[in-house]
Amino acid sequence: MIVHGGAVGSICGVTAARDELRRLVDVLPEEQVPAALADMRRLAERGGASAWPPPWFGAVISGRLDTSVRVDELLADGFGG
């Protein structure tokens, strides 16, 4: 934790809640770390950072391979409408 100009905070825009979470992890007894780690992994999978690409990435196949070359034409047509 950094004390700067009388204010207590963290660098790089870290929220107070995230800063508190880090502090709590540091004081957690070692025998409780595996359970806490499992909980954090579960939470991160549900709403946190996920692997790239997401499962739906590339799910639409247009049958054309020149879409990026034809972008101006496609936009003029109203997205194929």
Q: What is the mean pLDDT of residues 41-66?
A: 74
pTM of the model: 0.41
- Cα separation, 67 vs 62, in Å, equals 9
User: Which of the pair, 48 or 23, is modelled with greater confidence?
Assistant: 23
Question: What does pLDDT average to over the chain?
Answer: 76
Tell me: pLDDT of 3 over 60: no
Q: Where are the domains of the chain?
A: 2-76
